[in-house]
Amino acid sequence: MSDPTSSTGQCLNCNATLTGNYCQECGQSAKIKRLTFREAIDDFFSSTFALEGPLLFTLKSLILNPGRMFREFISGRRKTYYKPIAFFIVLTAIYLIVKALIDYDPLEGEFRQADENAHPRVIKFKEAARYMVTHINNIMLIFVFSIGINLKLFFSKRYNLTEYLIISFYIIGVYILFATGVMIVDKFLFSTSKVFIFSFLALYIIYSSATLFQSKSFLAYFKYLLVAVLSIALYMTAGFALSYLIVTL
């Protein structure tokens, strides 16, 4: 894929005619380069404490046609959409605030106290599970890398790893928003299954992949399914392993 650079001609964000270093219509820089880790980190520091940006439009796009939004953002239409890392941080913050306000414990009734007669390793497993849930905002970053790595593994020629990680931040952001709603339902209405949340994520990964790559063949959908299943499996394995290591040390 060629670099989405543009120093003359039309703005890659709004298609307005460029006459300088910045678009006179939307303000985006005339020089847009292919996404790199450095640019992602720069976006992180410039957006972490900033809430400006078309958040609702981004959410709408992620629901109606996430693949088209991913392609447009990667191709240079950056001003239109909310920054991916900021999107992830804002929704994670909302999740943590709501969780604290309603005093929600996803493991309520489970692993509350380790059985004194249980094997020490079983006790550590329970402590690791508790740690993973308590520090979910940090563990969730593993999910981002899990999806990005699997997308790169199965669709290596389409985009680079950084671009897949950018896509993953958006996908996990939607997942966190859904989990926030489920948390409220679980607290005040009726109990929900953890399988339900992961099933939503798997379906959303498949849906996002299908709209991104626009291939409807059986092989393509099989790959979408593998990306979803392997991403969740890698997250659960790596997240729990890290949690177990932390509580063991």
pLDDT tens-digit map of 109-147: 555 454 556 667 777 888 888 888 888 878 899 999 999
Q: What are the domain boundaries of the chain?
A: 1-33, 37-248
Cβ contacts of 185-192, under 8 Å, gap ≥ 24: 186/104, 186/106, 187/102, 187/104, 188/102
What are the pLDDT digits (tens) for 166-184? Answer: 999 999 999 999 999 999 9
Indicate whether 218 pLDDT > 90. yes
Are the beta carbons of 4 and 70 closer than 8 angstroms?
no
Indicate whether 3 pLDDT > 60. no
Q: What is the pTM of this model?
A: 0.80
Q: Which of 51-55, 66-70, 77-81 has the lowest mean pLDDT?
A: 51-55
Choice between 232 and 36, residue whose per-residue pLDDT is larger:
232
Q: How far apart are CA 188 and CA 236, in angstroms?
A: 27
What Cα–Cα distance (Å) separates residue 215 from each residue in 65, 159, 208, 209? 14, 15, 12, 9
| End-to-end alpha carbon distance in the chain | 45
- Please give the average per-residue pLDDT across 54-59, as a whole number: 89
What Cα–Cα distance (Å) separates residue 113 from each residue in 117, 157, 159? 11, 49, 46
